[in-house]
Amino acid sequence: MKKDLKPATFAAHAGGAYDEASGGVVMPIQPSTTYRRDEAYAPLNPDNVYIRPHNEPVRAAEAIIAQLEGAAESLLFPAGMAAIAAAFRWLPTGARAVVQSGIYWGTTKWLRGFAERRGIEMIEVDASDSAALAEAIGSKVDLAFVETPSNPWLKTTDIATAADLTHAAGGVLVVDSTAASPILTRPIEFGADIVMHSATKVMNGHSDVLGGVLSTAKDSAIWQAIKDDRADTGAVMGPFEAWLLVRGLRTLPLRIERMCQSAQTIADYLVDHPQISDVFYPGLSSHKGHEIAKAQMSGGYGYVLSALVKGTGADALKVAGRLNLFLRATSIGGVESLVEHRHTIEPHTGIPETLLRLSIGIEDAGDLIDDLAQALGQ
């Protein structure tokens, strides 16, 4: 398909991934784990030898994501954490990495263990503070990792500044942009070298696929090492999951538009609510990172927000328990709205007992506000 199409058009047509053989408007699923060779033992299709490195539905999804991301290439993985692991595994023993603090706990937990096992110096820093980030990176770094907006604090990091600091110190900048999606932010345009997404979340958007993706600004020795590692370790998404992901990607721009509009409306409602002491959402002018978000997010400020309920942890749990449309479950990015009491899930991370994280779906915003109102008692 033409490469200059708007994201909504390109995504709706799945980048032209139709079924040429049957004429179907939906691409087929090819579940074969291996592929035939001719009498001379040459592959009948040189692109397909074995499913671990060669998977047609995966390639179709990767092509769509790379186009949306403005990337040279994208690679799918069986989980978001598999993608993050691949983004770090190329680091040699003794390397130096700077990692944003206060991000998704699964990332922090794995990275701490990985760094300890590999003898990697890992510095954690509030990357939304550019001065603190500059001090942490210093004059030499191999990799810097930031998550913007962050989960669950919704902090925004200046990607361009992070890229300049990292590159000046000889390193690679990896950005987890899951809470933005490539529809709102394309980190490569701000200087990021590699972009990571948990495809489980809004990319798929239907709470039925586990996946992760890395996208690169350009081919490089590091990117080739990541590609080889994925093939050698078998960290590849399966064809059925990739087919479902393509289905989800077709509506990604439309879902993002609706979810961001509703998230903004709900954040505006909660920030003035007498039972809420604070709201964390980049779309609020009172948010510390609002100006940065405005500069690097286009079309909305994301689909996730967090709020502090006045009172105790028990009060916050009661609010979550009274919600009806907001389902009590752990994830973000689905078409259904979710609420999570983070302290119950991660009490060891210092999350306040009164914090509720809301993932906004595609429901009517008024209905969601009515649900919040009755749960908050107003």
Q: So which residues are the catalytic ones?
A: 52, 104, 176, 201
Which of 182, 215, 178, 216 is CA-nearest to residue 198? Answer: 178
CB 149 within 8 A of CB 156: yes
Query: Which residues are CB-contacts of 59 (< 8 A; sequence separation ≥ 6)?
Result: none
**Which neighbouring-strand residues pair with 34?**
50
Q: Is the separation of the CB atoms in 252 and 183 below 8 Å?
A: yes
From CA 112, how far away is CA 123, in angstroms rounded?
10
Nearest to 270 by CA among 339, 335, 216, 213: 339
d(CA 54, CA 33): 9
Q: Which amino acid is at 114?
A: F
